[in-house]
Structure 1
Amino acid sequence: MMTIPSIEDMLKAGMHFGHRTSKWHPKMKLFIFGSKKGVHIIDLRKTQKMLGMALEYIKRQSAEGKAILLVGTKMQVKNILKKTAEETGMPYVSSKWLGGFLTNFPIIKNLIRKFKDLSEKRAGGKLDKYTKKERLDFDRQIAKLETNVGGLVSLTKIPDVIFIWDIKKEKTAFTEALKKKIPVVAVCDTNVNPDGVKYIIPANDDASKGIKLVMNLIKEAILEGKAESQNKENK
């Protein structure tokens, strides 16, 4: 059962530290408690409430069988985000967002198809008939495709929901999601403009303990939603 962390747990995880006051975005004023030594302090009471709302939404979407795309390419988050996606069976982008992914999905769909086709052929030994040089070229193609679309193989259409870690870093992903009217759940630090985010999670977006805490909760929400759906089917 998902447990929303206490204020103390979030403090220990460093989720309250915003950016320097000189780098803030006025649209985040609502979520700022104050400042200390030139750094904004996030109001963790609001974080706690909004995190709970975001998790309930993700859980509901998961229970309805919706595809939730996890996006985060920052060094601090990319590995745990990828692990979370793999453990929940959700698509992800942890290396590079391909421009036009959402706004020109048919092209991305073709890349996914090509990646699956080449990977299956290599695994089945169907590329063995080619020369060593040609096989190396195939290996390079597969490696590049894996980096670009390896986390998207389960997608047959654009995702229903997108979870973004840091909409400033993932500006292109966020902009495309808004254009396609895809609901966005996002971790927002004090330096971003959260306009357009359906569920804002106001929190430090760099602290490793905070990242681990939130991503574990995202995982639990998705898995609990899937379990609920499975239980209904079994009745």
Structure 2
Amino acid sequence: MQKTTITDLLEAGVHFGHQTKRWNPKMKPYIYGTRNGITIFDLTVTMRHLAGACEFLRDTVAAGGSVLFVGAKRQAQEVVREAAEGCGMFFMCDRWLGGTLTNQRVVLSRISYLKKLQEMETDGSFAALPKKEVAGLRREREKLEQTLRGIADMKGLPAAMIVVDVGREAIAVREAAKLGIPVVALVDSNCDPTDIDFPVPGNDDALRAIKVVIDTLADAIREGGSLHAKSAPQAAAVPAAASAGREDDAEAEDSAEAADEAVEAKA
């Protein structure tokens, strides 16, 4: 995995924040200064926070946890989807469906309905329905696919969440905080980092800036996935070894009992 450098962040424009009049004072620890009325991030601080976020994600996935990517703003949608799919994780890049985390029963029912519509499309059920009704069902299916496609196979809650633009995705952040799900987020100068467990200070508006940060986080997730895959066979081998040990112990006990019986018989 190629390591991201400060030069990479600089070339992508990660250091550019919003106009100074829009800055949030809680972002002060991450700010280097201003230039032409624009807030400038301290990229040495950004690098340190990015490294910490990567370490957390790598360890989380290595332990078997899943990650949910969230980013519905236009610049982030494709980056989020491609990154999540590339590392085998879940995503929501259309709009956040309220209750995705805190009311999973409702979300699962919508996913179930989506799968039913998809089955009706493929098994020929639509052929028996009026054209107008079929058109309506197809529109509904397309809308659900757009919203739920990235979480259709998500079982249970994710172990972590990655967010682009915590202001826009405030509901998602609140749901994660309520459930104690750690949040990694690209946090711009106009945002409040209070509820973010692993803030990565930087530009959340420019496509290149979003991509360099999200791709770096995705690389850490892939690394964690590789570690998990390597540890799984070892974990499976432990019970087998323990079982073999128990069988050896049982055989030893049987041999000992037989020896005792032989001694008693001689006596």
Per the TM superposition, whether the score is higher than 0.5 is yes
Greater length-normalized contact order (CA 8 Å, ≥ 6 residues apart): 1
Is the partner of 2:60 in helix, strand or coil?
helix
* 2:200 maps to 1:227: no
Q: d(CA) in 1 for partners of 2:231 and 2:6? A: 34
Q: d(CA) in 1 for partners of 2:178 and 2:172? A: 10
Alignment of 1:149-188 (within 5 A): 149-188=148-187
How much is the aligned-residue C-alpha RMSD, in angstroms?
A: 1.5
**What fraction of aligned residue pairs are identical, expressed as a percent?**
36
Q: d(CA) in 1 for partners of 2:8 and 2:51? A: 14
Q: d(CA) in 2 for partners of 1:143 and 1:135? A: 12
> CA-to-partner distance for each residue in 1:150-185, whole Å, 9 max, x for gaps?
211121222221111010111111122112221111
Equivalent in the alignment of 1:120: 119
Is the partner of 1:101 in helix, strand or coil?
coil
| CA contact 2:93–2:147 (8 Å) conserved in 1 | no
Q: d(CA) in 2 for partners of 1:218 and 1:123? A: 37
Equivalent in the alignment of 2:262: none
TM normalised by structure 2 equals: 0.83
Is the partner of 1:45 in helix, strand or coil?
helix
More helix per residue: 2
Unaligned runs of 5+ in 1: none
Equivalent in the alignment of 2:243: none
Ranges of 4+ aligned residues in structure 1 off by more than 4 Å = none
Letter in 1 for 2:104: F
| CA contact 1:13–1:209 (8 Å) conserved in 2 | yes
Equivalent in the alignment of 2:210: 211
Unaligned runs of 5+ in 2: 235-267
Q: d(CA) in 2 for partners of 1:126 and 1:225? A: 43
Equivalent in the alignment of 2:94: 95
Q: d(CA) in 2 for partners of 1:87 and 1:132? A: 38
TM normalised by structure 1 equals: 0.94
CA-CA distance at 1:2 after TM superposition: 5.0
Give the structure with higher Rg (CA): 2
